[in-house]
């Protein structure tokens, strides 16, 4: 039951970020993991409290309370404390298909709900999770697992982001034959081509795809299922179809960009950056080297753009934020900085955020090249590269039309269900709930897999 006095004996010790001026010189992981005895002590801080809110995973007063995957946190913290990585791994994998992703990019709702955090620092659940799965991979514990019970049913999953991968993993281990279709040249969705390498190294995404391939999942890349002929063929040839195409429809930049060069949506910019940097692929989208950059928006995507531009050697970067500074202050009245803002501060001497600002007009030269932007209060900023991290309004219409499923902003299902308007077509992830987080995509994928399994077999033993 954990070490009853652990939370009094040991202080919280998080994985530390590498110094900003050092890490901007490469594209490697920004964190230095705490390992060995110190990691076991972090497990021992978990007091196995009577009501572990950390794993509740409910919405309380409009906020996510605890882990959406209901990870069995006190159990694996207890095993971690004893250095029993094998058992900790078994309990972790029971509820989370991809801890190597959540252990890096999850905002850790568990820690916000941790009882220990009520009067002290919460347990380092997020970092403990990463430690368990990385120990397992590096010690040969993550071997392919096969099921003896083969159902004879086949399922196609369209889209290979975390939602699609979770559906595929669950249904494959259940004994169905699973094919994943991906329109891009590699599987992984935003994990593979959106989130930059320093936050989620791309070899880790490929490591998981390779493991799933060894376990029998078939991946077909470079195939766009929004082609009606392809969609109809998939509908005919598979017992069930699961659409996990993400929320790819970007929100408008909010200003007329006609004929102006140098304005890009964040996803296009980041995709090109990963392609160029990690895979040596040439792209038409320029990098930020030597440019004065303006990023519109806040959140993960905007920060990833700021950090990417800094690594590419931009001359300057600012971030236009629509809401006021006061909306972002912590309980101590201070403005927290994420990794990208910390880097901008170190390189340019100030936080990149400019609050209560949005773009009113673009200033271009005779050739159409962007030279500056004017904000709503009339301020002119020099700018040769404008990146719009303005969010996503929903999923794309073309793929929904090709499969004939009802869509408003996202694909319509009954509340809390995953079956679409067509009986053997299901949906999950951002395509279903709208732009969200990796942990929610995995949770959606697992929940959709239960419905698919019940549809195929008449019952389910998935959890």
Ligand X SMILES: Cc1cc2nc3c(=O)[nH]c(=O)nc-3n(C[C@H](O)[C@H](O)[C@H](O)COP(=O)(O)OP(=O)(O)OC[C@H]3O[C@@H](n4cnc5c(N)ncnc54)[C@H](O)[C@@H]3O)c2cc1C
Site for ligand SF4, rule CB under 6 A: 67, 69, 71, 73, 96, 102, 106, 108-110, 125-126, 129, 439
162: contact with ligand X by CB under 6 A: yes
Q: How far is the CB of 304 from ligand X (least distance, A)?
A: 5
Which of 56, 114, 156, 190 is close enough to bind ligand X by CB under 6 A? 190
120 contact choice in ligand X, ligand SF4, none (CB below 5 to 8 Å, kind-dependent):
none
Contact of 206 with 100, CB cutoff 8 Å: no
What distances in angstroms separate CA 347 from CA 25, 66, 421, one per listed residue?
11, 36, 52
* Phi, psi for 319 (deg, rounded to 5): -125, 120
Which of 159, 201, 262, 297 is close enough to bind ligand X by CB under 6 A? 159
441: contact with ligand X by CB under 6 A: yes
249: contact with ligand X by CB under 6 A: no
Binding to ligand X, residues 302-341 (CB under 6 A): 304
Q: Which stretch binds ligand X (CB under 6 A): 35-43, 239-247, 332-340, 344-352?
A: 239-247
Who contacts 261 (Cβ-Cβ below 8 Å, separation ≥6)? 364, 367, 368, 369, 370
438: contact with ligand X by CB under 6 A: yes
Q: How far is the CB of 225 from ligand SF4 (least distance, A)?
A: 29
What distances in angstroms separate CA 100 from CA 47, 174, 411, one per listed residue?
24, 22, 28
Binding to ligand X, residues 56-115 (CB under 6 A): 105-106
CA torsion 72-74-78-84 (nearest 10°) is 20
Which of 170, 257, 300, 312 is close enough to bind ligand X by CB under 6 A? 300
163 contact choice in ligand X, ligand SF4, none (CB below 5 to 8 Å, kind-dependent):
ligand X
189: contact with ligand X by CB under 6 A: yes
Give the residue among 101, 223, 231, 239 at the shortest CA–CA distance from 178.
239
Residue 435, both tokens = 């732009």
Residue 75 DSSP SS3: helix
What distances in angstroms separate CA 456 from CA 258, 316, 450, one per listed residue?
49, 55, 10
Residue 121, both tokens = 């620092």
Who contacts 332 (Cβ-Cβ below 8 Å, separation ≥6)? none
429 contact choice in ligand X, ligand SF4, none (CB below 5 to 8 Å, kind-dependent):
ligand X
300 contact choice in ligand SF4, ligand X, none (CB below 5 to 8 Å, kind-dependent):
ligand X
What distances in angstroms separate CA 79 from CA 121, 127, 356, one per listed residue?
21, 15, 48
Cβ proximity to ligand SF4, 72 vs 266, nearer residue: 72
Q: Which stretch binds ligand X (CB under 6 A): 17-25, 116-124, 168-176, 186-194?
A: 186-194
Q: How far is the CB of 337 from ligand X (least distance, A)?
A: 15
Which of 246, 262, 297, 352 is close enough to bind ligand X by CB under 6 A? 246
Give the residue among 292, 269, 284 at the shortest CA–CA distance from 387.
269
Give the residue among 241, 176, 275 at the shortest CA–CA distance from 427.
241
Who contacts 289 (Cβ-Cβ below 8 Å, separation ≥6)? 312, 313, 314
217: contact with ligand X by CB under 6 A: no
24 contact choice in ligand SF4, ligand X, none (CB below 5 to 8 Å, kind-dependent):
none
Residues lying near ligand X in the complex (CB under 6 A) are found at: 105-106, 158-164, 181-184, 189-190, 194-195, 224-226, 244-246, 248, 267, 270, 300-301, 304, 399, 429-431, 436-439, 441
């Amino acid at each position: 039951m954990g070490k009853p006095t652990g939370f009094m004996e040991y202080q919280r010790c998080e994985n530390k970020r590498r110094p900003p001026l050092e890490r901007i010189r490469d594209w490697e992981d920004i964190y230095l993991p705490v390992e060995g005895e110190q990691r076991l002590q972090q497990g021992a801080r978990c007091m196995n409290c009577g009501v572990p809110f950390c794993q509740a995973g409910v919405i309380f007063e409009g906020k996510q309370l605890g882990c959406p995957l209901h990870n069995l946190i006190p159990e694996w913290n207890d095993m971690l404390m004893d250095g029993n990585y094998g058992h900790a791994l078994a309990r972790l994998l029971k509820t989370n298909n991809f801890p190597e992703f959540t252990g890096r990019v999850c905002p850790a709702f568990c820690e916000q709900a941790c009882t220990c955090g009520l009067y002290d620092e919460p347990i380092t659940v997020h970092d403990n999770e990463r430690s368990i799965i990385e120990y397992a991979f590096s010690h040969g514990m993550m071997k392919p697992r096969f099921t003896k019970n083969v159902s004879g049913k086949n399922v196609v999953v369209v889209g290979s982001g975390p939602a699609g991968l979770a559906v595929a993993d669950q249904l494959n281990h259940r004994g169905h034959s699973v094919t994943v279709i991906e329109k891009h040249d590699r599987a992984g969705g935003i994990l593979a081509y959106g989130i930059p390498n320093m936050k989620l190294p791309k070899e880790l995404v490929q490591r998981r795809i390779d493991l799933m391939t060894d376990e029998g999942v078939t991946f077909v890349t470079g195939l766009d299922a929004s082609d009606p002929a392809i969609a109809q063929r998939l509908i005919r040839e598979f017992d069930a179809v699961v659409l996990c195409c993400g929320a790819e429809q970007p929100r408008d930049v909010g200003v007329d960009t006609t004929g102006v060069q140098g304005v890009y949506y964040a996803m296009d910019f980041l995709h090109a950056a990963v392609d160029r940097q990690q895979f040596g692929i040439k792209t038409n989208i320029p990098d930020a080297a030597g440019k004065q950059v303006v990023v519109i928006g806040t959140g993960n995507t905007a920060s990833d753009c700021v950090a990417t531009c800094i690594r590419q050697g931009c001359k300057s970067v600012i971030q236009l934020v629509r809401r006021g500074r006061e909306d972002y202050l912590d309980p101590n009245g201070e403005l927290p900085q994420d990794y990208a803002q910390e880097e901008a501060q170190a390189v340019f001497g100030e936080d990149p955020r400019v609050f209560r600002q949005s773009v009113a007009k673009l200033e271009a030269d005779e050739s159409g090249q962007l030279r500056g932007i004017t904000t709503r209060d009339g301020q002119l900023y020099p700018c040769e590269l404008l990146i719009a991290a303005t969010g996503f309004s929903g999923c794309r219409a073309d793929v929904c039309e090709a499969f004939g499923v009802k869509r408003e902003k996202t694909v319509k299902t009954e509340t809390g269900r995953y079956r679409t308007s067509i009986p053997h077509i299901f949906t999950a992830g951002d395509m279903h709930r709208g732009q969200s987080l990796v942990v929610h995509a995995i949770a959606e994928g697992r929940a959709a897999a239960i419905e698919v399994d019940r549809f195929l077999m008449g019952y389910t033993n998935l959890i």
